Amino acid sequence: MRRIGAALLLLGAAPAPGVRSDLLMATDAPKLADYGMFDAAGRPAPGVQSYTLNTPLFSDGAEKYRFAWLPPGTNAEYRPSGALAFPVGTVLVKRFAFPADLRQPMQNVRPIETRLLIRRPAGWVALSYVEQDGGAVLKRAGMKVPVEFIDKAGRAQAIDYAVPNQNQCKTCHQDGEAITPIGPTAGNLNGSLNGRGSNQLMTWSTSGRLTGLPAGAWPRLAKWDDAAEPLDARARAYLAVNCGHCHSRGGFASNSGLYLVPEETIPAHLGVMKRPVAAGRGSGGHEFSILPGQPDKSIMLHRMIASEPGIMMPQFGRALAHEEGNALIRTWIAAMPAPTAPTLATTATP
């Protein structure tokens, strides 16, 4: 089993001895260190390769570091929508950390949690490991971790960072009856690593880590915070990453009729002039998910701004409202042409 030691290898490279693939496939280890994916200083083992996303999920301002490990001799398969098709044995890693000051993201960084998605023969398994004295330990039931930091506006923040329990992991990663990765889609990987160097899809393909990549016309998710990109593309990317995993036809919120995945084209399913399936506190007294031209009368923005359980969206993974993201959605809705009076009178709930 020592041959199963590396991830995302260049073809012909020797396997890394540190990664315990046998343990990853068989056991929910009590300590993250048991798997050998990182050394004592938190550095990834040889072959555990980093990747970045054009638009990442907002998690209260946490810095996130993403890694992937594939068994030697295997590869992912290209998919134009949804996550790439990863082989059995794959491990996707997301490490969460908070700088003392978000304006200085590389200084005084406190690691909080490492999440693993492991593809075992029976399907994907989600595990959360929380940093404690002596290393990160498995927390199946989740927990709250007090975190203090200075936000990007220079304000002091104190939150209870929520480590998800396994049921919450399943909720967000739900695709029908199965668990699936969310972030590493072709569209969200279609960019360079950390904004530098070669395109990640091309790098994965030429190194043998990805098969089936077409010659061109790859989907691309916009960078939500790049003002040089079109407003509609930025807003759609933000909603797809922060909301689309639940608001999809196979997701936890499939019964809402609100589908925010990148491939959706029907305006009503995107929320435009869509009445809520069930009215209540979450509606804020508004009639439509999106009322074009009027963000302050749109349920979507109302719920994104909220921080009260039962109203706020997303309902998991944040304690703070994302001011920059909310400003983007506000601008996007405000720029939509206002509906005509007949449209307002005849719109039906999808």
| Cα separations in angstroms, 282 against 46, 73, 93, 113, 333 | 47, 49, 33, 30, 18
- Burial class of residue 130 in the structure, from the number of CB atoms within 10 Å of its CB (0-12 exposed, 13-18 middle, 19+ buried): buried
Per-residue model confidence as pLDDT tens digits over 277-320: 876 788 899 999 999 999 999 999 999 999 898 899 988 889 99
| 302 three-state secondary structure | helix
Residue with tokens 């693939």: 21
CB-based contact 227:61 (threshold 8 Å)? no
Around Cβ 171, how many Cβ atoms within 10 Å? 18
Question: Residue 236: enclosing H or E segment and its boundaries?
Answer: helix 231-242
- DSSP-based helix, strand, coil % in the chain, nearest 5: 20, 25, 55
Q: Kindly report the CA angle at 296 between 293 and 300, in degrees rounded to 5?
A: 90
Q: What is the pLDDT of residue 167?
A: 82
Q: How far apart are CA 333 and CA 299, in angstroms?
A: 11
Amino acid at 22: D
Closest CA to 93 of 183, 220, 3, 4: 183
- Are the CB atoms for 80 and 261 separated by under 8 Å? no
Q: Answer whether residue 214 shows pLDDT above 80.
A: yes
**pLDDT band at 345; cut points 50, 70, 90:** very low
pTM as predicted: 0.89
**86-121 confidence digits (pLDDT tens):** 999 999 999 999 999 999 999 999 999 999 999 999
Token pair belonging to 80: 């134009």
Task: With H, G, I as helix, E, B as strand and everything else as coil, classify residue 295.
Answer: helix
* Lookup: tokens for 14: 């020797």
Confidence of residue 85 (pLDDT cuts 50, 70, 90): very high
From CA 280, how far away is CA 289, in angstroms rounded?
13
Nearest-angstrom CA–CA distance, 285 and 341: 20
- Report the alpha-carbon distance of residue 14 to residue 64 in Å, rounded: 28
To the nearest whole number, what is the mean pLDDT of the chain? 89
pLDDT confidence band for 15 (50 / 70 / 90): very low
Which range, 5-9, 135-139, 215-219, has the best average confidence (pLDDT)?
A: 135-139
Q: Which two tokens stand for residue 121?
A: 């023969």
Average pLDDT over residues 11-39: 80
Three-state DSSP class for residue 85 = strand
| pLDDT-derived band at 175, boundaries 50, 70, 90 | confident
Q: Which of 72, 188, 170 is nearest to 124 (CA)?
A: 170
